[in-house]
Amino acid sequence: MADDFQWVEGGLRFSGSDVLNVSQRVHFYRPVIELYFAGTQSVFPCSARALHVASTTIHLVNVALAMILTRTLGATPMFAGLSGLMLAVQPAPAHAVLWPSA
């Protein structure tokens, strides 16, 4: 969990050249996550609420995509809805959605 704070703090001091600079890394190299936190922090700096809303929105989009995939694979609408509900309430994905606002 200690690296979580590095992502949030890194979003506050992000510059575009940071994405390409891998030589000074003491943390993971995940450019999409860096851009996500930089974007969120640039619009709403130091806002736990904004991080929570952004993470929840991404989670809900993933739930919708899971439902669409399940339906595309031939499941009934009820089964697709249940698959989306199960993804929405499972503890592991929910934890990933909630941690930035903790």
pLDDT recorded at residue 43: 83
Q: Which residues of 59-92 are buried (b: 16+ CB within 10 A; e: fewer)?
A: beeebeebbeebbeeeeeeeebeebbeebbeeee
Residue 4 lies in domain: 1-46
Confidence of residue 72 (pLDDT cuts 50, 70, 90): very high
Does the structure show a pLDDT above 70 at 75?
yes
Give the whole-number percent of the chain exceeding pLDDT 70: 74
Instruction: Tell me the per-residue pLDDT of 33-47, one tens digit each, with 9 for 90 and over.
Output: 778 888 888 888 877
Whether residue 81 sits in one domain with residue 51: yes
Whether residue 102 sits in one domain with residue 52: yes
The count of structural domains within the chain is: 2
